[in-house]
Amino acid sequence: MSLVEVLGESFEGLRARALAPVDVAVVDSGVDATHPDLAGRVVRQFHVDWTEGGTEVLERQVPECSDTFGHGTAVASIIARMAPNARIWDIRVLGGNNSGKGEILVAGFRYAIDQQIRVVNLSLASTAKFASQLAEICEKAYRANILVVAAKRNVPVADNGFPAELSTCVGVDSGNFGTNLKVKFTGGSPIEFMAHGEDIEVAVPGGGHRRQTGTSLATPTVTGLCALLLGAYPALRPFEIKAVLKAWSI
Amino acid sequence: MSTSQALMASYFAIAEKSPEQQVLDLLLALGTQVVGADNGALLALKTNADGSQSLVFLLSSGDTSLHGKEVPLGQGITGMAAATREVQIGSPTYGGVHVAGADAPKYVMAAPMLMGDELIGVITAATFKEGKHFGRDDALLFMRIASVAALVIRQRRQLDAVEALQAAPDTDAPLREEERLERAVITSVGRLVRAAPDKLPEIAALVLAVEKVCGTASR
């Protein structure tokens, strides 16, 4: 496989082809694996527990609804729709009384990398407090040929959010492009790409759908596109995937 | 704009017709109008006895029946904005507040009110118009309004703390030895920092090292 050969393709063309399965971790609030949109698409489910001694990753039965917020189900449904070859790993790090605890995010993210899951979707952002730990995990991911796709904050306050700001990630912002088969290279920002993230139809835990807007929804769009690419060209490395995204940018 | 004065006083210590109340009213009205919403609301974070958290409606533009109603943390767009500390936009899914059907909003935007890392509440904008939705620019504006609202509440709290300190009875009772030493240490560290501000990292490292030796460093 040469990069020139890949660049001759398009996302539309890839979707019409038979693709190899690609494992994708959704590190989020859990996933309703019983939702019709996700039937048969979620292969493993985990949640991270917080204890006095630290964190613990526990496996759950598949399929079940592990999502208490609806955020992870929304994200997973976009990936499932974008990439028919994506096999989703649900790793819940948000939810319950410890929602949003940075240590839990770090533990869940690290677990996804340790499991060698090919693509990791993080539609969430941590504060700079955890930046060094997240940077270390992202570096490990990069060296292991694992692609990390992470969301910029919807409205940045002090920073764009971590790990999205890190160069070892594909950082994603949201825009309105009218199509989910295109990305835009932002040209210099630490957040290198934008994708369609406005008024997207997503699955809701328990059944049904709603419409939602934000970087959390643009990120799985890019994750889905990357899963398509990797389904056709499994040997692609993270920097090559970024090069393809840039080359196909609008 | 209508406010549940009892709840506003209880959660944010903001009195009726106070400058803070008027600024919050103005911010919500302004934000709602600029983003083209039909309705806006301000909710406070409530921590329940079992440790669970919810958001309580204190202020709304029009619908007084919302006052006192609660949204569990993580539920719907509003609860998700609180849980993720991010602006969230989308069609509502939490049915515990509005009557379903024509009376329910079609699209909602919610922005967290933060004091540093601490979440104190959420402001929301809602539209009842089919096809209307909020975008990126609306989110940017609404988050800024939430930041200013949080600042107003923070300043009220700080003023309350200062006033409480001033109102505290002046006692001539002699200090206990521990209190005397504590004050001496604080005064000494303060003097060092003022005298050599460029050495602040070293001074902080030294204090942390002492804490570590004493086994009192919690994080």
Q: What tens digit of pLDDT does each residue of A84-139 get? A: 999 999 999 987 554 668 889 999 999 999 999 999 999 998 888 899 999 999 99
Instruction: Report which listed range, A145-149, A182-186, B131-135, is most confident.
Output: A145-149
- B201 interface with A at CB cutoff 8 Å: no
Of the listed ranges A76-85, A110-119, A178-187, B185-194, the one predicted with least confidence: B185-194
Cβ-Cβ contacts under 8 Å, A97 against chain B: 51-53
Question: Over the stretch B85-102, which tens digit does the pLDDT of each residue have?
Answer: 889 999 887 666 654 455
Predicted TM-score (pTM) of this structure: 0.81
Residue B22 tokens, joined: 């008027």
Cβ-Cβ contacts under 8 Å, B123 against chain A: none
**Between chains, do B88 and A99 touch, taking CB under 8 Å as contact?**
no
What are the angstrom distances between the C-alpha of A232 and each of A158, A235, B73? 39, 9, 41
Q: What percent of chain A has pLDDT over 90?
A: 78
Q: Output the pLDDT for position A28.
A: 94
- B146 interface with A at CB cutoff 8 Å: no
One-letter amino acid at A33 equals A
Residue B168 tokens, joined: 């505290």
Q: Which of B51, B89, B91 sits opposite A214 (nearest CB)?
A: B89
Q: Output the pLDDT for position A23.
A: 98
Q: Mean pLDDT over residues A146-160, rounded?
A: 89
| Closest chain A residue to the Cα of B75, Cα to Cα | A69
- B107 interface with A at CB cutoff 8 Å: yes
Cβ-Cβ contacts under 8 Å, B218 against chain A: none
B58 phi and psi angles, rounded to 5 deg = -115, -35
Q: Mean pLDDT over residues A58-87, rounded?
A: 95
**Between chains, do B91 and A211 touch, taking CB under 8 Å as contact?**
yes
The secondary structure of residue A32, as a DSSP letter, is B
Per-residue confidence band for A188, with pLDDT thresholds at 50, 70 and 90: confident
Q: What percent of chain B has pLDDT over 90?
A: 35
Length of chain B: 219
Q: Output the pLDDT for position B218.
A: 45
If one compares A170 and A156, the residue with the highest pLDDT of the two is A170
In order, the DSSP letters of B4-20 are -HHHHHHHH---TT-HH
Q: Which of A100, A155, A213 sits opposite B83 (nearest CB)?
A: A100
Task: Using DSSP, state whether A20 is helix, strand or coil.
Answer: coil
**Between chains, do B89 and A212 touch, taking CB under 8 Å as contact?**
yes
On the question of pLDDT at B24 being above 80, the answer is yes
Q: Which of A68, A100, A127 sits opposite B84 (nearest CB)?
A: A100
Cβ-Cβ contacts under 8 Å, A216 against chain B: 86
Instruction: Report which listed range, A54-68, A136-150, A179-193, B89-103, is most confident.
Output: A136-150
Q: Output the pLDDT for position A97.
A: 52
Length of chain A: 250
**Between chains, do A213 and B90 touch, taking CB under 8 Å as contact?**
yes
Q: What is the mean pLDDT of chain A?
A: 93
Task: Using DSSP, state whether B193 is helix, strand or coil.
Answer: helix
How many Å is the Cα radius of gyration of chain B? Answer: 22
**Between chains, do B87 and A155 touch, taking CB under 8 Å as contact?**
yes
Residue B100 tokens, joined: 């379903």
- A94 interface with B at CB cutoff 8 Å: yes
Q: Which of B52, B86, B134 sits opposite A153 (nearest CB)?
A: B86
What are the angstrom distances between the C-alpha of B211 and each of A129, B179, B189, B216? 21, 18, 14, 5
For residues B132 and B129, what is the distance between their CA atoms, to the nearest angstrom?
Answer: 6
Residue A5 tokens, joined: 């050969």
Q: Mean pLDDT over residues A222-237, rounded?
A: 97
On the question of pLDDT at B121 being above 80, the answer is yes
Task: Using DSSP, state whether A232 is helix, strand or coil.
Answer: helix
If one compares B53 and A19, the residue with the highest pLDDT of the two is A19
Task: Using DSSP, state whether B153 is helix, strand or coil.
Answer: helix
Q: Output the pLDDT for position B160.
A: 83
ipTM over 0.85: no
Q: Mean pLDDT over residues A178-184, rounded?
A: 89
